[in-house]
Amino acid sequence: MAEYKMQFRDGFLDRAKRMSGLKTDEAFAGAIGVSESVLARAKKTNECTPLMMVGLYKAFGFQPGEVSQIKAVGEMGKTA
């Protein structure tokens, strides 16, 4: 059986930060309820955690389909 992970849509975190008007990663991370290190890891791996999904909804009203997509582990790194 294939393994799946939830990934941020390409460029989503940078677009969301820009749209929020927040200038620093520290401020953006605080707004979505995660630490700056969690945000940095998400930017590096593109993996979307449930905590970040909920934080993005609470802070900015983003729906899950706007934020992420489900990908098979073998498809990681490929663009849709």
Confidence of residue 78 (pLDDT cuts 50, 70, 90): low
Q: Is residue 80 part of a domain?
A: no
Identify the pLDDT of residue 16. 97
Identify the pLDDT of residue 2. 82
Degrees, nearest 5: CA angle 31-64-74: 110
| CA distance linking residue 11 with residue 42, whole number of Å | 12
Percent of the chain scoring above 70 in pLDDT? 92
| CA distance linking residue 6 with residue 45, whole number of Å | 11
| CA distance linking residue 31 with residue 24, whole number of Å | 11
Domains in the chain: how many in total? 1
30 burial (CB, 10 Å; 0-12 / 13-18 / 19+) is: middle
pTM, 2 dp: 0.84
* Mean pLDDT of the region 44-56: 96
| CA distance linking residue 70 with residue 31, whole number of Å | 24
State which residues form the domain around 65. 4-75
Q: Is residue 57 part of a domain?
A: yes
Confidence of residue 77 (pLDDT cuts 50, 70, 90): low
Q: Is residue 54 part of a domain?
A: yes
Identify the pLDDT of residue 75. 66
CATH classification at residue 42: 1.10.260
